[in-house]
């Protein structure tokens, strides 16, 4: 344990100076602290905030790896190098080294920029303000590369991360005090600041965007299209993917959001490790299904004409909404963020339900913002404290009534 | 400053920094959000407010002893309205394009909280010269923030300053655009103005801790 002791010595050396939090953070990230408390009664548990965060990151690793394969697969498929998958999840066309490395070299820089910039800001703030480095960015840093298009320019990502961490989190007082989910703040910033890189039919497949080809002096053909399913539905086009493709994730989209199967696995991991709230996940799915059913019945009852621009999204089978776009990813990894979600159990049901409900609503009625789940979660983040307040007040009132009955 | 006594000079200096109408009193936010997407519009707006507030404060101050206090708000409104109409007509006559950009916000100077606030808080209780200085000071304090916000919003949002393409041409890819830089569309939207104002408030209060309220 040479590293541990060296870190400890450094920590002692810089104790009381401004640099102390930086060494302390590295030390406790890697090892148990050298000092433990001696007196008083303590609950002993292995899971501090850093371990909790690491569990979430572990749940996301399958999505990240799949995202790397998928980025390469979509690219090779688009330029006609390989055929579409035919034999289910373990298709040999998909799991090739070639696919993986194309994706790996595209996505690794995203991860590095996200962590480098984000943790850099956390360290700077900790040193300036003289508090311990906060763990909050560990999960955010992993979420960010998973929810952006694969070809997003790295400097844009860096700008967005600075904005998201400073404006979304630090101004509110740091980890645990933020109102909005920082990862979604970063994505929303990108979405509104650089819409041409975040939506449309060119950005979702590596190499499809002519601007990227220019930068790379591309030898790729210029007729690649890489529309997401939501994008084609919003324009009333036929969707070229079947439900199984959507479920397994062989579709274009943000890096880690495509494979519903792996997201469900990650979600189960979070539920069994008691880190993610199953109430939020379940109620959000229910909310989305309810809204989907309402739209389906409106479409099938003939209340809306087939020429309407909403028809094709409205008549999408209600359960398809769970498979396409970022809904599954948002529900499992973003809506359950313990800081920004509702805290009370009853509140979680309401919060989750409304996220699902509003996601599909935005998705269908505003084709300019096909990714409704991002906006729905941000909106409900704002309302979460209000929901909690009324749940608690309701409980207080109920108990007050009981009290009166007894004393009377 | 030999021209002004220390007390009078404070009337101009205070609103520029430690008693700024936007960042400390948080007045006049609506127009600060609405017309700061372009530097030119922000400058014209600042000058308009300077004119209205400077003259308005003097007029109200001169009339302060004959206005019945029950109808003073109406009198104040009439004074502002008259001055705003002058500004509006001048803009329409000499800078028509600009007056279209500013559109309704020139008329809305009437409801700018800073103006009514200074009338009520200062001009009604002070002499004409001091009221004039107070009006100028507050309008300058308002203008400074407006221009800072507009500077960043226009530079980062459109890549221009006063309409000049200081960062190069985004379509022909000259200047910084040749390196893949792109304009930040979020800067053009009103929410970003709020955030920029917030950052100015943050910086100001970090430099002067006495401004932090509990």
DSSP labels for B97-151? Answer: HHHHHHTHHHHGGGG-HHHHHHHHHTGGGS-HHHHHHHHHHHHHHHHHHHHHHHH
Predicted confidence band at A213 (pLDDT cuts at 50, 70, 90)?
Answer: low
Burial (Cβ within 10 Å: 0-12, 13-18, ≥19) of residue B67: middle
Range of the domain at B103: 7-206
DSSP assignments along B51-89, one per residue: HHHHHHHHHHHHHTTTS-GGGHHHHHHHHHHHHHHHHHH
Token duo for residue A203 = 């950005």
Q: Which has more confidence, B34 or A306?
A: B34
**Min Cα–Cα distance to chain B from A180, Å:** 15
pLDDT tens digits, one per residue of A278-289 = 899 999 999 999
Kindly report the average pLDDT of chain A as a whole number.
81
What gap in Å lies between CA A149 and CA A76, rounded to an integer?
16
Quick check: is A264 in a domain? yes
Cα(B167)–Cα(B187) distance, rounded to whole angstroms?
15
Asked, for residue B211, whether it belongs to a domain, the answer is no
For residue B121, tell me if it sits in a domain: yes
Test B202 with A171 for CB contact under 8 angstroms: yes
Residue pair A408/A386 in contact by the 8 Å Cβ criterion = no
| Residues 364 through 383 of chain A touching chain B, CB cutoff 8 Å | none
Q: Which two tokens stand for residue B164?
A: 């000049």
Going by C-beta distance under 8 Å and a sequence separation of 6 or more, which residues neighbour residue B162? B39, B40, B154
Closest CA to A263 of A250, A275, A284, A247: A247
pLDDT for the residue A220? 45
Round to whole Å and give the CA distance between A356 and A339. Answer: 19
CB < 8 Å to B170, chain A:
none
- Residue A203 in any domain: the answer is yes
Distance from CA of A314 to the nearest CA of B (A): 30
Q: Which two tokens stand for residue A301?
A: 């009852």
Q: Is the pLDDT of residue A151 over 80?
A: yes
pLDDT for A217 beyond 50: no
What is the per-residue pLDDT for A235? 67
pLDDT at residue A31 tops 60 = yes
User: B25 or B93, which is more confident?
Assistant: B93
**Residue B49 within a domain:** yes
pLDDT tops 90 at residue A176? no
Q: Is A228 left (phi over 0), alpha (psi -120 to 50) or beta?
A: beta
Q: What is the mean pLDDT of residues B188-208?
A: 87
CB atoms within 10 A of CB A151: 23
Whole-number Å distance between alpha carbons of B26 and B17? 13
Residue A214 lies in a domain: yes
In chain A, the number of structural domains is: 1
Q: What is the ipTM of this complex?
A: 0.82
Percent over 90 (pLDDT), chain B: 6
Give domain status of residue B38, yes or no.
yes
Over residues A319-341, mean pLDDT: 86
In a domain, B1, yes or no: no
Whole-number Å distance between alpha carbons of A119 and B30: 36
Number of domains forming the structure of chain B = 1
- Are B184 and A159 a contacting pair at CB < 8 A? yes
Is B213 a domain residue?
Answer: no
Residue A7, domain member (yes or no)? no
Interface contact A193-B185, CB threshold 8 A: yes
Q: Is A189 on the interface with B (CB under 8 A)?
A: yes
DSSP per residue, A72-105: HHHHHHHTTSSPPP-SGGG-TTTS-HHHHHHHHH
In a domain, A398, yes or no: no
Instruction: Name the pLDDT band for A218 (thresholds 50, 70, 90).
Output: very low
Each residue's pLDDT tens digit, B78-127: 999 999 999 888 888 988 888 887 777 788 888 788 888 888 888 888 88
Residue B2 lies in a domain: no
Report pLDDT for A219. Answer: 44
| Three-state DSSP class for residue B161 | strand
- Domain of residue A72 covers 49-219+228-393
């Amino acid at each position: 344990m040479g590293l541990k002791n060296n870190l400890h010595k450094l920590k002692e050396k810089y104790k009381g100076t401004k640099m102390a939090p930086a060494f302390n953070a590295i030390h406790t990230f890697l090892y148990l602290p050298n000092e433990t408390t001696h007196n008083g009664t303590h609950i002993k548990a292995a899971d501090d905030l850093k371990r909790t965060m690491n569990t979430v990151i572990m749940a996301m690793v399958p999505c990240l790896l799949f995202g790397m394969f998928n980025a390469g697969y979509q690219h090779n498929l688009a330029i006609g190098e390989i055929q579409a998958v035919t034999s289910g999840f373990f298709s040999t066309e998909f799991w090739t080294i070639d696919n993986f490395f194309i994706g790996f070299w595209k996505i690794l820089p995203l991860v590095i920029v996200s962590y480098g910039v984000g943790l850099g800001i956390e360290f700077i703030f900790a040193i300036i303000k003289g508090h311990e480095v906060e763990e909050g960015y560990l999960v955010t840093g992993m979420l960010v590369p998973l929810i952006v298009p694969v070809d997003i320019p790295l400097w844009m990502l860096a700008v967005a991360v600075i904005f998201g961490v400073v404006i979304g989190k630090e101004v509110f007082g740091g980890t645990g005090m933020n109102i909005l989910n920082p990862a979604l703040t970063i994505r929303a910033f990108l979405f509104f600041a650089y819409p041409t890189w975040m939506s449309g039919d060119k950005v979702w497949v590596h190499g499809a965007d002519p601007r990227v080809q220019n930068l790379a002096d591309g030898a790729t053909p210029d007729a690649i299209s890489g529309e997401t399913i939501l994008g084609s539905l919003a324009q009333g086009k036929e969707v070229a993917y079947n439900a199984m493709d959507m479920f397994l994730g062989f579709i274009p989209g943000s890096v880690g959001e495509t494979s519903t199967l792996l997201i469900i696995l990650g979600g189960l991991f979070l539920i069994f490790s008691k880190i993610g709230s199953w109430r939020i996940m379940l109620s959000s799915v229910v909310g989305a299904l309810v809204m989907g059913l309402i739209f389906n019945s409106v479409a099938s009852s003939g209340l809306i004409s087939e020429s309407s621009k909403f028809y094709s999204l409205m008549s999408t089978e209600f359960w398809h909404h769970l498979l396409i776009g970022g809904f599954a990813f948002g529900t499992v990894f973003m809506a359950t963020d313990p800081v920004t979600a509702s805290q009370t159990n009853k509140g979680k049901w309401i919060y989750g339900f409304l996220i699902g409900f509003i996601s599909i609503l935005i998705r269908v009625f505003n084709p300019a913002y096909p990714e409704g789940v991002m906006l729905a979660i941000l909106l409900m983040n704002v309302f979460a404290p209000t929901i909690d307040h009324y749940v608690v007040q309701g409980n207080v009132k109920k108990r007050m009534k009981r009290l009166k009955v007894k004393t009377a | 400053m030999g021209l002004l006594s220390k007390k009078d000079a404070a009337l101009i200096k205070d609103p520029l920094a430690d008693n700024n109408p936007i960042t400390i009193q948080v007045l006049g936010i609506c127009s600060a959000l609405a017309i700061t997407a372009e530097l030119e519009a922000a400058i014209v707006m600042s000058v308009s407010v300077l004119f209205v507030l400077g003259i308005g404060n003097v007029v109200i101050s001169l009339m302060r002893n004959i206005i019945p206090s029950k109808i003073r708000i109406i009198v104040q409104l009439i004074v502002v309205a008259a001055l705003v109409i002058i500004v509006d007509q001048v803009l329409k006559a000499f800078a028509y394009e600009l007056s279209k950009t500013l559109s309704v916000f020139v008329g809305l100077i009437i409801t700018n909280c800073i103006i009514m606030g200074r009338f009520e808080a200062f001009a009604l209780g002070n002499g004409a010269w001091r009221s004039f200085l107070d009006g100028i000071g507050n309008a300058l304090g308002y203008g400074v923030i407006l221009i800072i916000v507009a500077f960043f919003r226009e530079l980062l949002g459109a890549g221009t300053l006063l309409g000049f393409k200081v960062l190069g041409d985004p379509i022909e890819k000259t200047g910084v655009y040749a390196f893949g830089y792109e304009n930040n569309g979020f800067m053009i939207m009103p929410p970003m103005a709020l955030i920029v104002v917030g950052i100015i408030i943050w910086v100001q209060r970090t430099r002067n801790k006495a401004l932090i309220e509990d």
